[in-house]
Amino acid sequence: MKTVFARTAVLKDCSTHYCPGCGHGIAHRLVAEAIDELGIQGRTIGIAPVGCSVLLYDYIDVDCIEVAHGRAPAVATGMKRTNPDKIVFSYQGDGDLASIGAAEILHAGHRGEQLTVIFINNAVYGMTGGQMAPTTMLNQVTTTSPKGRSAVEQGYPLQVSEVMAVLPGVVYVERTALDGGAGVRKTKKAIKHAFELQVEGAPGLALVEVLSPCPTYWRMPPAKAMKRIREEMSKFFPVGRLKG
Amino acid sequence: MAGKITIDIEKCKGCGLCVAVCPKGSIVISSESNAKGYFPARPTNVDCTGCGECAVVCPDAVITVYRDDSRKAGSAGQRREANGAGVSRG
């Protein structure tokens, strides 16, 4: 029998610290597969965020740097400008990118930096215990919105992709969902395209927003969390290509 | 049997996503825990077509998928042989 699917070598041979059913594991694999397929492992630099995926450098076998909370696009800017032949990507969660790092990502896009940004949106702060994030959906219960997020009290969920897509310095924006086999395959395609653009020298930033499950702080089994992305989350965050 | 999967049970966390997406229902959650204390997924490989849906959604990249691409040309005898091999490993 022929092997039709095996773990990529760019993903280190170790177990992750993620909870069972966490979307980060899938997203890590997709990033690793894209790097593997494009043959850029030797010249890729990853920027790890603060959040659950803080240990990214332990899992993806490329040179990585860990940066202060939200500052990944700022450090990535320096990396890319001083090493234009390198492929620089940042991998950030919604607490990191959409909250404390909102200014950094906005201005990296505004300046048209040649970066690839993988934005994992699970609508909650996972690392710190399930608090409300800027991307938390209306009526979503978190530890800091126990009655559900209300637009009057806490504002609306922040649609990062829509905001980024209007900037002239951003060349590609796509939102995908890890809600099943088809969604994962589409996410893989989007992530690979975001890397390809940088390899080809596209004049701007490429961002892929990935709707990802957090079964632990959504307090539901992993299969149900995937269903929630499909049925609930994609209403607040419509999937599809927004630009490029 | 046209396909077969293997699961690295020591790295599996038993999230059950593969069980939920398998169109043939040929993956189950094991009743024995691994060294980390998780109850990992276990392939029965019964009716497995090697579609790979389980491996695509696996958050821990622990599933390897094999497929017999000569399935249509293969005789019933070959199919029986493949089935037997799968059962002995399962």
- For the cut 90, the answer to whether the pLDDT of residue B76 exceeds it is no
Residue A35, judged by CB atoms within 10 A of its CB (0-12, 13-18, 19+), counts as buried
Q: Across all residues in chain A, what is the average pLDDT?
A: 97
Radius of gyration of chain B (CA): 13
Question: Chains A, B: CB contacts under 8 A, how many?
Answer: 87
Average pLDDT, chain B: 84
What is the pLDDT, as a whole number, of residue B71? Answer: 57
Question: Are the Cβ atoms of B56 and A185 closer than 8 angstroms?
Answer: yes
On the question of pLDDT at A74 being above 90, the answer is yes
Q: State the complex-level ipTM.
A: 0.92
Q: How confident is the model at residue B69 (pLDDT cuts 50, 70, 90)?
A: confident
Q: What phi and psi, each to the nearest 5 degrees, are found at residue A162?
A: -65, -40
Q: Tell me: pLDDT of B89 over 70.
A: no
Position B53 scores a pLDDT of 96
Looking at the predicted structure, is the pLDDT value of residue B80 above 70?
no
In this structure, the dihedral spanned by the alpha carbons of residues A21, A23, A25 and A29, taken in order and rounded to 10 degrees, is 130
E strands, B1-90, in order: 3-7, 27-29, 41-43, 63-67
Mean pLDDT of A193-218: 98
* Cβ-Cβ contacts under 8 Å, A8 against chain B: 61
Predicted confidence band at A11 (pLDDT cuts at 50, 70, 90)? very high
Look at residue B84 in the predicted model and tell me its pLDDT: 40
**Mean pLDDT to the nearest integer, A235-239:** 97
Provide mean pLDDT across the span A104-115.
Answer: 97
pLDDT category of residue B70 using cuts at 50, 70 and 90: confident
Residues of chain B contacting residue A18, judged by C-beta atoms under 8 Å apart: 59-60
Per-residue pLDDT for B75 more than 50?
A: no
Task: Judge whether residue B21 has pLDDT over 50.
Answer: yes
Interchain proximity A26–B67, CB inside 8 Å: no
Tell me the chain B residues in contact with residue A26 when contact means C-beta distances shorter than 8 Å: 57-59
Q: How far apart are the first and last CA of chain A?
A: 40
* Facing residue for B16 by CB, picked from A2, A11, A222: A222
* Residue A78 pLDDT > 60: yes
Contact B56 A5 (CB under 8 A): yes
Provide the pLDDT confidence category of residue B73 given band limits of 50, 70 and 90.
low
Q: Do A181 and B10 touch (CB under 8 A)?
A: no
DSSP one-letter code for A137: P
* Sign of the CA dihedral with A15 first, then A20, A21, and A27 last: negative
Q: Do A184 and B52 count as a contact with CB atoms less than 8 A apart?
A: no
Element (H, E) at A210: strand A205-211
**Chain B residues with CB inside 8 Å of A230's CB?**
none
What is the spatial distance between Cα A230 and Cα B86, in angstroms, rounded to a whole number? Answer: 35
- Of B87 and B52, which is predicted with more confidence? B52
Of B36, B52, B59, the CB nearest to A5: B52
Domain that residue B56 falls in: 3-89
Is the pLDDT score of A59 beyond 50? yes
Interchain CB distance below 8 Å, B55 and A19: no
Number of domains within chain B: 1
User: pLDDT band at residue A67, thresholds of 50, 70 and 90?
Assistant: very high
Q: Which domains does chain A have, with CATH numbers?
A: 23-243 (3.40.50.970)
Q: Which of A20, A181, A221 has its CB closest to that of B13?
A: A20
Q: Which CATH number characterizes residue B54's domain?
A: 3.30.70.20
Strand partners, B6: B64
Facing residue for B59 by CB, picked from A5, A8, A18: A18
* Predicted confidence (pLDDT) per residue in A164-194, tens digit: 999 999 999 999 999 999 999 999 999 999 9
Q: Which residues of A touch B16 (CB under 8 A)?
A: 20-21, 221-223
Residue B83 has pLDDT above 90, yes or no: no
Question: From CA A229, how far away is CA B67, in angstroms rounded?
Answer: 31
